[in-house]
Amino acid sequence: MGKINPRELRERTISILQEKGGRSDLEDITKKTPINLYKAFKIKDSFDIANLDSILKKDFKNPVISLYLKFSGDNTYRTDKIYLTQFNSLMKEEIKNKKQYLKNLNTEQKESVRKDLKDIEAFLIKLKDVTKEKFKSLIIFKSEKNLNIIITTLTDLYIKNKLVIDPNPYIVPIIETLKAHGTYLMLQVEPKQAIFYINQLNKIKKIKKVKIKGGFQKINIKAAGVPGKSQRDRRNQIHLFYKEIANNLDEFIYQKQYKGLFILGNKQNLKNIQNYLSYEANKILLSKIVTSPETTLKEIREKVDKHIQVKEKEEEKNALKALTRELNKGNAVQGIEAVIEAQNRFLCREIFLSENSIKPGYSCIQHNFLSLNKGKCPFCKNELTPISNLFEEIAEISRKYHIPTHIIKHFKKRARKFGGAAAILYPLDLE
């Protein structure tokens, strides 16, 4: 086999990876998009993040602005509004990077970009007045009235602050993060109704309600004077109620891949529903949680989150065991320098990064080339751009090319042993 030029191989790989990944047949959410950011913020809690895939099928007349902002502590309440400074810095950087792209836009498109950036800035200025919610991340997708989506998360996301002006929304970071965290299905069983929820990034959204058919009193009146009939009718009614719940549960499971299932209710309801669960439902059932009518949604979220943390800790532990095995076999590398070298050559099969690790460095945005040192990109010969954190950049590139990325949160002491960064590699000894 003849030798392939490394630059040619890299360019070909980038091209293939960027074209890879089909678009789902999800509902076109742009048909229902609010006309401005304020209305988008009001309905943000009813938005299903998984449906973001559908906006990739849409052709936008004007460029789309995608903004990712991280908040820490009481950032939304700070009088200095540091997020505004971050936004302006990101905006200037993107305008500089996309100088040629913006120059080639027609007059209408240029005006659209200018107006959208102004609208986002105005929204951020008034953010303190719009909400008192202490969220961890704010994500905005905007293209005039055709696209206005806002996502906030209560979970720390390993996503760097970023603003992108492009023909299409830059959804890779949030989609890949959602895949890593997973979506959980929740079922709350009450005496006369059952409510289905989904939990995405610790945000709970109601998706369906199932009510018991008819009222018990009506059946008792109708069956009056017939010995034992009202009792039998009541049992049949309860039987059909639980059967309908179980059927709906199976439908949800078949429609979508959930990372786990939580069932909530009093002890009797939990005992009753258990007899109706299918094999598939039992397979993803993580916990049955006892609740009462007085239990608030916030308390439910906290109880569910504890179980999710336990599951994530177990998954993290198993992933680190696999990494150790591969390191012992010589199929993995450790340390930020070794991981960067492997990623620059597209050799990483899985990546492990310690949460909150920081290491400044340099990059070529066009070719996704990273370096610890100053210099020129070996592919385009342009000067490398200084970046604040190589760990965030590694995560960003790995998500872009669908490389499984483990953010180590629970075993940071073990992560420090391999320098906060490690990667399992593809085999190099192919014939």
Residue 54 pLDDT exceeds 80: no
In this structure, CATH architecture of domain 312-425: 2-Layer Sandwich (3.30)
Q: Are 219 and 233 in contact (CB under 8 A)?
A: yes
Please tell me whether residue 239 adopts helix, strand or coil conformation: helix
Q: How confident is the model at residue 79 (pLDDT cuts 50, 70, 90)?
A: low
For 226-375, where are the alpha helices, taking DSSP H only?
A: 229-255, 267-274, 279-284, 297-329, 336-344
Pairing of strands 260-265, 285-290: parallel
Rounded to an integer, what is the distance from CA 135 to the centroid of its chain?
Answer: 14
In the chain, domain spans: 19-180, 182-295, 312-425
Phi-psi region of 90 (alpha: psi -120 to 50; beta: other; left: phi over 0): alpha
CA terminus-to-terminus distance, the chain: 10
Question: Following DSSP, what letter does each residue of 23-38 receive, concatenated?
Answer: PP----GGGG--SSHH
Per-residue pLDDT tens digits for 112-124 = 999 999 999 999 9
Residue 6 pLDDT exceeds 80: no
In this structure, CATH architecture of domain 182-295: 2-Layer Sandwich (3.30)
d(CA 65, CA 324): 41
The answer to whether domain 19-180 has CATH 1.25.40 is no
Q: How confident is the model at residue 227 (pLDDT cuts 50, 70, 90)?
A: low
Least confident of 102-106, 213-217, 295-299: 213-217
Q: How confident is the model at residue 47 (pLDDT cuts 50, 70, 90)?
A: low
d(CA 309, CA 316): 10
Res 204: pLDDT: 87
Residues 6+ away with beta carbon under 8 Å from 57:
23, 28
Residues 6+ away with beta carbon under 8 Å from 335:
418, 419, 421, 422
pTM for this one? Answer: 0.76
Per-residue pLDDT tens digits for 131-142 = 777 788 899 999
